[in-house]
Amino acid sequence: MGTLILRRLLYSIPLLLLSSLILFWAIRTTDTFDPTARLAQSRDPETVSRARENLGLNDPIMVQYGHWLGDFVTGDWGESQLSRDDVFGKTQTALWNTVQLIFWGVLFSASIAMAIGVYSAVKQYSLGDYFFTGLSYLGIAMPPFWFGLLAIHYLSVEPKTWFDLQEVPFKFIGLHSPGESGVNWDYFAHLVLPVLTLTVQIVASWTRFQRAAMLDVLSSDYIRTARAKGLPRRKVVVRHAVRNSLIPLVTVMAVDIGLLFGGLIITEVIFSIPGMGQLFYDSLLAGDGPVILAWMMVAGLFILLFNLLADLLYGVLDPRVRVG
């Protein structure tokens, strides 16, 4: 198992460096992200030339990349071209807000998807299986932005009128009301709608993966042998089938969760949550190169980390991986 982890790390680090170099080159050679673009409007060539020299933009791209990478590794991520804030602190704050959404979203999605997937496989072709299959297809086809708007209207705005409430039951702006903080009822009232919007497609797709994997395991020889020996059906399903059926789902979950750290752009923009998705959206519109670079590095790092985590979970779920 240790050899497997070392091998993954040995090719993950060069991959991350190569991707960062490509991203750095793309941003530095794109006029949209040129920090001297606004100075060029002054029509003073000397001012623009001095600014480019001070920022090191006249150096070869590999020299610029080396300076940037050295600063990035030591925690100096530069400052935002838009707000002049420290990029590290800005990204850290945004990442924490996104992590909160991901934690609750993944906890909810994994629990529901595994329960429904196992039930649908065990009760294949039953009325419940058809019902959950239909809901899954509906969830996969439902655009998150559309579901988010429907959730705001029918779960927050309209219930206030229907039940003559003083305020909406579920909040849809940010993670806290003004003056509130910490984990309390206000916090969860703000979480309900964005978590539902985040998970509508994830639950649907993970349910289908879990059902397919569970059906494949239930038709295996060792499951039939266990049943032939007289083991209770519940014990066969819980102790043998479910554990082995999780391996394909772990792969999908690891990739999906890693991608979520790049930012839940649609969810965070709709619900005005200052996370990684909102940070990317605002920075892209403003042409804020340093923030975009930091965002891409953080997103790429988490994708690699969660793929490595998937390999570790393989060893836990399937001892044959550790032997190999």
The pLDDT score that the predictor gives to residue 1 is: 60
b/e per residue 174-197 (b: at least 16 CB within 10 A): ebeeeeeeeeeebbebbbbbbbbb
Q: Apex CA 117: angle with CA 112 and CA 119, to 5°?
A: 100
Domain boundary among 48, 76, 104: 76
Side-chain-side CA neighbours of 32 within 13 Å: the count stands at 10
Residue type (1 letter), 66: G
| Residues 49 and 152 occupy one common structural domain | no
Closest CA to 198 of 298, 132, 306, 106: 106
Q: What is the DSSP string of 212-232?
A: HHHHHHHTSHHHHHHHHTT--
Q: Which residue, of 44, 76, 108, is where some domain finishes? A: 76
Q: What H or E segment, with its residue span, contains residue 109?
A: helix 87-122
Between helices 87-122 and 289-317, what is the axis angle to 10°?
A: 40
Q: What is the pLDDT along the chain (324 residues), one digit of tens a residue?
A: 667 677 777 778 888 889 889 989 988 888 777 777 655 555 567 766 777 777 777 788 899 899 899 999 998 998 888 788 899 999 999 999 999 999 999 999 999 999 999 999 999 999 999 999 999 999 999 888 899 999 999 999 999 888 888 888 899 899 998 888 888 999 999 999 999 999 999 999 999 999 999 999 888 888 888 888 888 888 888 877 887 888 888 888 888 888 888 768 889 999 999 999 999 999 988 888 889 999 988 988 888 888 888 777 776 666 665 545
40 and 134 in a common domain? no
- Residues 236, 279: one domain? yes
The verdict on 162 and 226 lying in the same domain is yes
Tell me what pLDDT residue 114 has: 92
Report the domain count for the chain: 2
User: Residue 81: inside a domain, yes or no?
Assistant: no
Q: Is residue 24 situated within a structural domain?
A: yes
pLDDT of residue 90: 93
| Three-state secondary-structure class, residue 71 | helix
Domain containing 259: what range?
Answer: 88-323
Tell me, yes or no, whether 66 lies in a domain: yes
Q: Same domain, yes or no, for 108 and 241?
A: yes
Q: Is residue 255 part of a domain?
A: yes
Q: Coil, strand or helix: which one is 129?
A: helix
Say yes or no: 128 and 197 in one domain: yes
Same domain, 13 and 105: no
Shared domain check, 319 and 255: yes
Backbone dihedral angles phi then psi of residue 86, each to the nearest 5 degrees: -65, 125
Domain boundary, last residue among 76, 97, 119: 76
Local structure of 79: helix, strand or coil: strand
114 in the same domain as 2: no
Alpha carbons 306 and 321: distance in angstroms, whole number: 17
46 and 98 belong to one structural domain: no
Instruction: Please give the Cα distance from 253 to 256 (Å, whole number).
Output: 5
- Give the Cβ contact number of residue 218 at 10 Å: 20
Same domain, 308 and 162: yes
Query: Residues of 281-292 as b/e, b for ≥16 C-beta within 10 angstroms?
Result: ebbeebbbbbbb
pLDDT for the residue numbered 38: 59
Stated length of the chain: 324
What's 189's domain CATH number? Answer: 1.10.3720.10
pLDDT of amino acid 102: 93
